[in-house]
């Protein structure tokens, strides 16, 4: 490949300054101050725009804040053909327009199995029963009284990237990777609630169930429930949104999103799994030999370059910052490598603090684009030493019948005009 990486050059602050300002000026034409002679620039300072010449609305204008009007295309989107109807559908987060590791509450991806219930918090109850000493029915007021914790964790649907098992088909970061989001969750440790009811010795599993019309439910091993599961009522500092399970949901850190049951209403302990619909016909992985992998909860390490991407192309040669996100259900991200030549050569990206367990981690790498074709990839290695596989490696192991757990390396093809395309390498 003709693409070269030049870390020595990109670390030169003079080059970085000139290049960044040049790009900015070319893009907006508004960077009059600080542009070096010889670069395209307006002849005079910016004029006083209308909003600088009058008094704006006061504080009563917006009792609940909302994004600027110019950001109106930063929204969740769905793929109409993906599911039978909107009641059993998915909306994807616009990762191409987000920054940092926290997903705003209005842009957190959604997944419904029977639509979004409108739950009255005063009538909502959480029942904990089965193999316990003292079955309990808790109100929301009861739950909020328990000792609380706040934790930052991602939630990813295991079908994220599931449309790409056989071939690249959706030329979009949002649709290929947007079934992941990350938030600060506040609530009670599930272990605290289980201490309260007293777990019987024979108990080994929990069935967790939602209050939606489907009573969406999954079986979870008791050791995970006692480890790091949370029963949460708040997300990013405010009450859960209805689409995220208001007033109460489970968060199962690092495991596939469907086990983080929304509108949580029941936890039953037993000595074996329940084998409900969601762990037989759904959320199992069909292997090449016709058998199915069951109870594949773990989200293996995965990463993706979020800039550039098909929705955010390059605007001409020069210095850029390749940006992306990495995550792993195994704990913390240890390292992310970036390639600009389709995986022949790799450079280590910078990880941005905080690097948290089972949370999104931001990475960046300066890149001087010479205007020639490039193949951008990122590859994460987590703290267990697990290395993100290529799609070819994953297919060799699991075939291409699966829907779930495609955590392969994403390749973005950059064309000379700066446009970016979703491709797969053999
Ligand atoms: Co699975």
CATH number at residue 390: 2.60.40.650
Which ranges of 178-275 would DSSP assign to H, the alpha helix? 190-197, 222-227
Burial string for 239-251 (b: 16+ CB within 10 Å, else e) reads ebeebbbbbbbbb
Distance 405 CA to ligand 1 centre (A): 6
Co-location of 194 and 337 in the same domain = no
Distance from the alpha carbon of residue 422 to the mean position of ligand 1, in angstroms: 24
Give φ, ψ of 69 to 5 degrees: -55, -35
Cβ 111 vs Cβ 156: under 8 Å: no
Whether residues 228 and 130 share a domain: the answer is yes
Do the domain assignments include residue 77? no
Q: Let me know whether 280 and 307 are in one domain.
A: no
Q: Does 259 share its domain with 306?
A: no
Same structural domain, 278 and 317: no
37 located within any domain: no
- For the record, the structure tokens of 249 come out as 């949901």
C-alpha of 140 from chain center: 28
How many CA within 13 A on the CB side of residue 367? 32
- Output the CA 156–ligand 1 centroid distance in Å: 11
The secondary element (H helix, E strand) that includes residue 240 is none
Determine, yes or no, domain membership for 289. yes
Boundary residue ending a domain (293, 314, 337): 293
* Distance in Å, CA 158 to ligand 1 centroid: 6
**How far apart are alpha carbons 193 and 78 in whole angstroms?**
36
| Rama region for 30: left / alpha / beta (φ>0; ψ in -120 to 50; rest) | alpha
Span from the CA of 282 to the centroid of ligand 1 (angstroms): 9
The owner of tokens 């983080």 is 260
Domain presence at residue 51: no
Are 359 and 415 members of one domain? yes
How many angstroms separate the alpha carbon of residue 137 from the centre of ligand 1? 30
Collapsing DSSP to helix, strand or coil, 84 comes out as: coil
- Which structural domain, as residue segments, surrounds residue 289? 86-293
pLDDT of residue 117: 96
Question: Both 104 and 225 in a single domain?
Answer: yes
What CATH number corresponds to the domain at position 101? 3.90.420.10
Give me the pLDDT at residue 240, please: 98
DSSP category for residue 362: E
In a domain, 181, yes or no: yes
The structural domain count of the chain equals: 2
The residue out of 240, 274, 293 marking a domain boundary is 293
Number of residues written out for the chain: 426
Are the C-beta atoms of residues 359 and 228 closer than 8 Å to each other?
no
Q: What is the pLDDT of residue 42?
A: 67
pLDDT attached to residue 82? 83
Distance 285 CA to ligand 1 centre (A): 7
- 124 in the same domain as 100: yes
> Is the same domain home to 246 and 368?
no
Say yes or no: 261 and 328 in one domain: no
For residue 97, tell me if it sits in a domain. yes
Does residue 52 belong to any structural domain of this protein?
no
Separation of CA 121 and ligand 1 centre (Å): 31
- How many Å lie between the centroid of ligand 1 and the Cα of residue 13? 46
Of 176, 169, 426, whose CA–CA distance to 325 is shortest?
A: 176
Q: Which residues lie closer than 8 Å to 413 by C-beta, 6 or more apart? A: 373, 374, 375, 376, 420, 421, 422, 423
Q: Which ranges of 150-307 would DSSP assign to H, the alpha helix?
A: 173-177, 190-197, 222-227
Q: What is the pLDDT of residue 259?
A: 98
Regarding whether 250 and 375 lie in a shared domain, the answer is no
| C-alpha 257 to ligand 1 mean position (Å) | 9
The residue ranges of the chain whose pLDDT is under 70 are 1-42
Same structural domain for residues 139 and 221? Answer: yes
User: Are 358 and 182 in contact, with CB atoms under 8 Å apart?
Assistant: no
Q: What is the pLDDT of residue 81?
A: 84
**Residue 244: φ, ψ to 5°:** -110, 15
- How far is the centre of ligand 1, averaged over its atoms, from the C-alpha of 92 (Å)? 19
Res 40: pLDDT: 58
The residue among 250, 271, 293 that closes a domain is 293
């Amino acid at each position: 490949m003709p693409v070269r990486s030049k870390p020595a050059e990109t670390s030169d602050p003079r080059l970085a300054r000139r290049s960044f300002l040049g790009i900015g000026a070319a893009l907006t034409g508004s960077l009059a101050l600080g542009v070096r002679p010889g670069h395209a620039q307006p002849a005079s300072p910016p004029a006083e725009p209308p909003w600088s010449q009058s008094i704006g609305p006061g504080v009563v204008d917006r009792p609940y804040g909302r994004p600027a009007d110019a950001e109106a295309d930063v929204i969740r989107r769905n793929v109409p053909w993906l599911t039978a109807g909107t009641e059993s559908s998915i909306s994807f987060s616009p990762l191409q327009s987000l920054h940092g590791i926290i997903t705003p509450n209005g842009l957190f991806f959604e997944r419904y199995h029977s639509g979004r219930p409108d739950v009255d918090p005063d009538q909502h109850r959480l029942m904990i029963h089965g193999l316990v000493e003292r079955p309990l029915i808790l109100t929301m007021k009861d739950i909020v009284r328990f000792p609380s914790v706040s934790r930052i964790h991602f939630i990813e649907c295991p079908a994220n990237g599931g449309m790409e098992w056989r071939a690249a088909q959706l030329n979009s970061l949002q649709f290929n990777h947007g079934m992941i989001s990350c938030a600060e969750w506040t609530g009670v440790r599930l272990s605290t609630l289980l201490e309260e009811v007293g777990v019987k010795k024979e108990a080994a599993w929990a069935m967790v169930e939602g209050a939606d019309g489907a009573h969406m439910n999954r079986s979870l091993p008791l050791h995970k429930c006692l480890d790091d599961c949370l029963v949460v009522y708040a997300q990013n500092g405010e009450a859960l949104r209805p689409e995220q399970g208001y007033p109460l949901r489970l968060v199962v850190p690092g495991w596939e999103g469907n086990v983080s049951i929304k509108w949580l209403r029941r936890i039953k302990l037993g000595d074996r799994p329940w084998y409900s619909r969601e762990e037989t016909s759904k959320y199992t992985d069909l292997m090449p030999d016709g058998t199915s992998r069951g109870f594949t909860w773990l989200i293996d390490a995965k990463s993706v370059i979020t800039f550039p991407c098909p929705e955010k192309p390059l605007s001409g040669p020069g210095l850029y910052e390749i940006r992306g996100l990495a995550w792993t259900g195994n704990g913390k991200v240890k390292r992310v490598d970036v390639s600009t030549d389709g995986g022949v050569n790799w450079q280590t990206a910078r990880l941005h603090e905080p690097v948290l367990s089972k949370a999104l981690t931001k990475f960046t790498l300066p890149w001087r684009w010479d205007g020639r074709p490039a193949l951008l990839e990122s590859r994460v290695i987590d703290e267990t030493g697990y290395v993100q596989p290529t799609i070819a490696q994953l297919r060799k192991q699991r075939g291409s019948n699966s829907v779930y757990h495609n955590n392969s390396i994403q390749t973005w093809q950059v064309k000379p005009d700066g446009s970016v395309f979703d491709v797969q390498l053999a």
